Structure 1
Amino acid sequence: MASVQLDRVRKVYDNGQVAVHGASFEIADGELMVLVGPSGCGKSTLLRMIAGLEDISEGDLLIGGKRVNDVQPKDRDIAMVFQSYALYPHMTVAENLAFGLKLRGHPRAEIERRVNAAAETLGMSHMLGKLPREMSGGQRQRVALGRALVREPSVFLLDEPLSNLDAKLRHSVRTEIGRLHRQLRATMVYVTHDQVEAMTLGQRIVVLKEGEIQQIDTPMALYEKPANLFVAGFLGSPAMNVLHGTLQRAEGLRLVLDGGDALPLGQATVADAWLGRRVAMGVRPEHLQPAGIGKPAFEAQVELIEPVGNEVFVNLSHAGQSLVSRVAPQHLPEPGQLLRVTVDGGVLHFFDADSGQRL
């Protein structure tokens, strides 16, 4: 396997559009790195530059310590798995797996060894004689993974490989990819717009917006300490609640909302320099809970209750702002009624109201 290093990599199209603004980061040998962000953020463009399918306008790309800006895709020792399975319909699984190796002139015995090894790794040895039309979507995607495995590359590149699968299959194949990574100790770069995939698969995550890197860190570090409002809102489902107002001390800390209402923040502590400052305050849904007796609280109107089995999402409205609380199954007021809510002041997030950067 090999490391992948990007040093101030930019992509500028002929019309002047900048797709990637100076990306710099390193993917360690054997690491599974996820590139995540909304549509158009530049994540697939970055992956295609690593693959050699897009030219690099500026900067350097190194694979295994070797600069590969001008190296052809076939010579980069990478294998790519696309959103589309792109299987040959008239070929069996074994023939699909072997086809690329035959084109590269590998000996028959070596092809057979690699095909059998990949099939065994993916639990598909009994399917080698099947045609794609005889298989489910999840099985076809495993064949696409197998076609990358037989290459035995230094780096695996996966471009939204689960997008065409239903929810159950996505979970199954996601688990398979995670298992493969642990088994192979392979260097993998995985692109997705799905924050659940990013959080569950990535050892580290690169969060992108409009071609610019917003933050790079482990999944839980991103969740617990987002660098800005974009990262805070993008990672987490339901998304973080964000309220705008001014911080004051009056019988403890409180946030005076733009409309004038004051929210008590319990034992939250902030620097004195933040007092009187207009901020954006973030609170995760699990940290917005029905208030017990004696706790500082505010009243919010219940708009909608969404029971999803082992937890309930309570959609609330307060002072014209929408909020979501994640609670354990319990008796709750009906929609239209009021619920006393308390904020866990120990886990609040504060951002500059203008720049969106974490304070």
Structure 2
Amino acid sequence: MAQVRFDAVRKVYPNGYVGVAGASFEVADGELLVLVGPSGCGKSTLLRMVAGLEAISDGTLTIGDRVVNDVAPKDRDIAMVFQSYALYPHMSVAENLAFGLKLRGQAKADIAARVAEAAQVLELDKVLDRKPGQLSGGQRQRVALGRALVRQPQVFLLDEPLSNLDAKLRSGMRVEIARLHRKLGTTMIYVTHDQIEAMTLGQRIVVLKDGQIQQIDTPMALYEQPANLFVATFLGSPAMNVLRGTLAQTAAGWRFDAGEGITLALGDAGFPAGWDGRTVDLGIRPEHLLPASEAEASLSPVVEVVEPVGSEVFVNLRLGSHALIARLPPDRVPVPGETLPLSIPAGRVHAFDVETGARLVSSAC
């Protein structure tokens, strides 16, 4: 096991495109860190630089106590699991697991012991004689993980390993990977565009956009205290509601004017007095739009589409020209066309600068 440290690491392509702009952070020894962001944000480029598959344009990359900028991939003591299983179809599961070790000249007894251990950990011991074509998608992904596991590397690199699985298998494999990490305690760097995977797997998450790090923190800290509007809207499903308007401090508390005759009563939102009259982007999580009586309502949008998902209901709403979504309990399912009075708990709104997107910090948000 080893820590991985990025010091001002940059990747600039020959055409001048900046894939990664000065990334500086550390992956602790034994940590499972997730790199997340939309396509083209630089997450896979960072992972490939750790693997040695992408040259580093500038900065320093350290694995353990060794700078690896110019170290060949085979000498970095890492193992990588790709989006594609890349299994040899003519080989059995056992042969696929052992192949890399055979190429490295490991002793047969050592290979057999490592394969047996990996197969037991990943519950593959009963399918060792099968070919990949005889396995389910989840089993194939476990074989790909096992092929990396038998290497006993310092660092595991996982590049969107679950993207080819259906929703049920993906959920199950998330649990498998988390369980595997807890058992092994090995340093893992996991790349995904799926914010659910990021939130459920990562001990810490690095959120990227356009080659730049937006924020690094634990999943719940990112969710509750996003650094900017991008992080706020990227993490969370359904995504955060955002309205642009002006704050006003009144005798009855704070109000928010979104235009079109739309005003929201925010009560004691805890904003500084200097924010009176300030134009902001106001963020409200779907779970913080709560059913209310007409007298208590902060807003009264019209129901457009209702999405029951069992334990909760996603309600798509229309407030003037604004689209909103609320996450409600399933005890009373609203119907399209009705007006739905909603309230917002005090201190459960986020304000963002309209120019920079940075989260405006106050005593309550």
Question: Which of the five TM-score ranges fits, normalised by the shorter chain?
Answer: over 0.9
Contact 2:47/2:157, CA 8 A, preserved across alignment: yes
* SS in structure 2 at match of 1:26: strand
Map 1:327-346 → 2, pairs under 5 A: 327-346=328-347
Contact 2:249/2:273, CA 8 A, preserved across alignment: no
* SS in structure 1 at match of 2:189: strand
Q: What is the CA distance between 1:267 and its match in structure 2?
A: 2.7
Map 1:131-280 → 2, pairs under 5 A: 131-250=131-250, 251-280=252-281
Contact 1:9/1:23, CA 8 A, preserved across alignment: yes
Contact 2:294/2:341, CA 8 A, preserved across alignment: no
Give the corresponding residue for 2:92.
92
Q: What is the CA distance between 1:344 and its match in structure 2?
A: 1.6
**How far apart in 1 are the matches of 2:331 and 2:94?**
53
Calculate the TM-score normalised by the size of structure 1.
Answer: 0.98
Give the corresponding residue for 1:113.
113
**How far apart in 1 are the matches of 2:130 and 2:53?**
31
Q: What is the CA distance between 1:225 and its match in structure 2?
A: 0.3
Calculate the TM-score normalised by the size of structure 2.
Answer: 0.97
Give the corresponding residue for 2:7.
7
**How far apart in 2 are the matches of 1:333 and 1:224?**
28
Higher mean displacement: 174-183 or 331-340 = 331-340
* SS in structure 1 at match of 2:165: coil
Contact 1:266/1:296, CA 8 A, preserved across alignment: no
Give the corresponding residue for 1:68.
68
Give the corresponding residue for 2:45.
45
* SS in structure 1 at match of 2:301: strand
1:297 lines up with 2:298 in the alignment: yes
Amino acid at match of 1:314: V
Give the corresponding residue for 2:363.
none
Across the aligned residues of Structure 1 and Structure 2, the Cα RMSD in angstroms comes to 1.0
1:58 lines up with 2:80 in the alignment: no
**How far apart in 1 are the matches of 2:355 and 2:292?**
31
Give the corresponding residue for 2:30.
30
Deviations, residues 235-260 of structure 1 (Å, cap 9, x unaligned): 00000001111100222111011434
Deviations, residues 64-97 of structure 1 (Å, cap 9, x unaligned): 0210000000000000000000000000001000
Q: What is the CA distance between 1:126 and its match in structure 2?
A: 1.0
Q: What is the CA distance between 1:280 and its match in structure 2?
A: 0.7
Higher mean displacement: 210-219 or 313-322 = 313-322
**How far apart in 1 are the matches of 2:335 and 2:30?**
51
1:321 lines up with 2:322 in the alignment: yes
* SS in structure 1 at match of 2:126: helix
**How far apart in 2 are the matches of 1:29 and 1:298?**
48
Contact 1:310/1:328, CA 8 A, preserved across alignment: yes
**How far apart in 2 are the matches of 1:323 and 1:345?**
19
Contact 2:33/2:189, CA 8 A, preserved across alignment: yes
Q: How many residue pairs align between the two structures?
A: 359
Contact 1:207/1:231, CA 8 A, preserved across alignment: yes
Q: Percent identity?
A: 65
* SS in structure 2 at match of 1:347: coil
Deviations, residues 136-180 of structure 1 (Å, cap 9, x unaligned): 011000000000000000000000000000001001111100000
Q: What is the CA distance between 1:348 and its match in structure 2?
A: 1.1
Q: What is the CA distance between 1:293 and its match in structure 2?
A: 6.1
Which blocks of at least 5 consecutive residues in structure 1 are unaligned? none
Contact 2:255/2:263, CA 8 A, preserved across alignment: yes
Higher mean displacement: 228-237 or 247-256 = 247-256
Deviations, residues 83-117 of structure 1 (Å, cap 9, x unaligned): 00000000000100010000001111111111111
Contact 1:118/1:146, CA 8 A, preserved across alignment: yes
Q: What is the CA distance between 1:296 and its match in structure 2?
A: 4.2
Give the corresponding residue for 2:283.
282
**How far apart in 2 are the matches of 1:178 and 1:333?**
38
Which blocks of at least 5 consecutive residues in structure 2 are unaligned? 361-365
**How far apart in 2 are the matches of 1:124 and 1:297?**
55
Contact 2:3/2:26, CA 8 A, preserved across alignment: yes
* SS in structure 1 at match of 2:118: helix
Q: 1:21 to 1:258 in 2, by over 3 A?
A: farther
**How far apart in 2 are the matches of 1:326 and 1:169?**
25
Give the corresponding residue for 2:129.
129
Deviations, residues 160-209 of structure 1 (Å, cap 9, x unaligned): 00000000100111110000000000100000000000000000000000
Amino acid at match of 1:186: T
